[in-house]
Amino acid sequence: MKKLELTLDENTAFQPLERVLKNSLGLTKRQIRQAKFRETGICINGKKQRISYVGTPGEVLTVCLEERSENTGKVLPQQGELEILYEDPDILAVNKPAGMPCHPGRGHYLDSLGNLAAGLFEKRGEPCPVRIIGRLDKDTSGVVILAKNQAAGARLGEQKTKGIFRKEYIGLVQGQLKESEGRIREPIGKIPGEKLKMQVTPEGKPADTSYQALKCLENGTLTRWEIFTGRTHQIRVHMAWLGHPLFGDPIYGTGENPYFPGLALHCAKAVFLQPFTGDKVMIQAPAKGWSEDLKDWVSQNTGTDPEDSGQE
């Protein structure tokens, strides 16, 4: 159950509660419809009121948004270790290790991030559907944000659509980049007959990736990315198309990584607004699987210090 509270002032009083619920609390028609049929769904000073009620300054509006539980059973709870980077009543942020899928699937029905998150919520006595906002590929490590209630999930989803919710990635690509920075706007679509592999194709969906070279290595480049669309394997596809596949990528490159095992791609930072307070939240995650010299360089030059995660 998520409880919202608002003290009416000169900007929210003298108008129907339905308008306040939509404009000031950002509730959808469905959320308002569900709340108004509950005994304590929509109240003024603790007393149930109709959405046509016109309030006065100083009155306290409370809304209880009940969580739907029909999705809870779809992810089987499992106990395990999660590296929690940040948490508040509405959000859980974790540092996902490489090799762990976000959602249960073939070969990973019990060891996904979703399973472990469901297990954590169950252990705390607060089971709720697992809502991952912007998943990562199985082999990509880094920041993953989970919404702990339906309203928070909807608002974070809206932030993604508007470009307010942003993620920053770091990784290692093969070869030296010709330009120190650039932007790739090439559509991405499926390869016919392939289950996983994507490609740059005119028939694909729009995809937008910016990149910046951070450090030239002996046979590669440490690179930073921000993506403005959410296509499958977007960074990996775009960099392979550019002629610089990521180290450790078995699908779009050779699969070899001379620096450390696995895919050299890590979500180092997520920035968004707390869905109800509007405070800016910045979450940072260290690249745990990377070699120590690379981790130190990234920490010193990109500001990925987990101690700086939190609200600003």
pLDDT digits (tens, 9 = 90+) for 35-84: 988 888 999 999 999 999 999 999 999 998 866 544 445 789 999 999 99
Q: Is 163 within a domain?
A: no
Residue 158, amino acid? E
Provide the pLDDT for residue 43: 95
Provide the pLDDT for residue 297: 73
* Contact in structure between 224 and 166 (CB atoms under 8 Å): no
pLDDT in tens, 190-237: 999 998 899 999 999 999 999 999 999 989 999 999 999 999 999 999
Active site residue 293: no
* Contact in structure between 25 and 278 (CB atoms under 8 Å): no
Residue 128 has pLDDT above 80, yes or no: no
DSSP assigned state of 119: H
Provide the pLDDT for residue 279: 95
Q: Is 99 within a domain?
A: no
* Contact in structure between 249 and 236 (CB atoms under 8 Å): yes
User: What is the average pLDDT score of the chain?
Assistant: 90
User: pLDDT-derived band of residue 303, with 50, 70 and 90 as boundaries?
Assistant: low
Provide the pLDDT for residue 304: 60
The CATH number of the domain holding residue 51 is 3.10.290.10
Q: Residue 42 forms beta bridges with which residues? A: 63
d(C-alpha 199, C-alpha 229), whole Å = 15
Helix and strand counts by DSSP (H, E) for the chain: 6, 17
Residue 28 has pLDDT above 70, yes or no: yes
Average pLDDT over residues 122-132: 85
Per the structure, how many domains does the chain have?
1
Provide the pLDDT for residue 141: 96
Q: Is 165 within a domain?
A: no
pTM: 0.82
Q: Is 303 within a domain?
A: no
Q: Is 106 within a domain?
A: no
Average pLDDT over residues 237-245: 98
Catalytic residue among 9, 90, 111, 137: 137
Provide the pLDDT for residue 66: 66
Q: Is 167 within a domain?
A: no
Indicate the Cα dihedral angle 84, 160, 137, 167, nearest 10°. Answer: -60
Residue ranges with strand state E in the chain: 2-7, 42-44, 47-48, 60-65, 84-87, 91-96, 131-133, 141-147, 166-174, 181-184, 188-190, 198-200, 209-216, 220-227, 265-273, 280-284, 310-311
% of the chain with per-residue pLDDT over 90: 69
Average pLDDT over residues 130-152: 92
Average pLDDT over residues 274-294: 90
Q: Mapping DSSP to helix (H, G, I), strand (E, B) and coil, where does residue 204 land? A: coil
% of the chain with per-residue pLDDT over 70: 94
Q: For residue 150, what are the CA distances in angstroms to 1, 153, 269?
A: 9, 5, 23
d(C-alpha 200, C-alpha 247), whole Å = 19
d(C-alpha 252, C-alpha 275), whole Å = 37
Provide the pLDDT for residue 92: 96
The candidate with the shortest Cα–Cα distance to 233, out of 259, 271, 256, 263, is 263
Residue 307 has pLDDT above 80, yes or no: no
DSSP assigned state of 54: B
- Which of 73-87, 97-111, 291-305 has the lowest average pLDDT? 291-305
Chain centroid to Cα 111, Å, comes to 19
User: Hey, how many other C-beta atoms are within 10 angstroms of the C-beta on 123?
Assistant: 11
Contacts of 304 (CB under 8 A, 6+ apart): 170, 268, 269, 284, 285, 286, 287, 298
Its domain, for residue 31, covers 2-65
Q: Is 120 within a domain?
A: no
Q: Is 305 within a domain?
A: no
Contacts of 143 (CB under 8 A, 6+ apart): 85, 93, 94, 95, 96, 167, 267, 268, 269, 270, 283, 284, 285
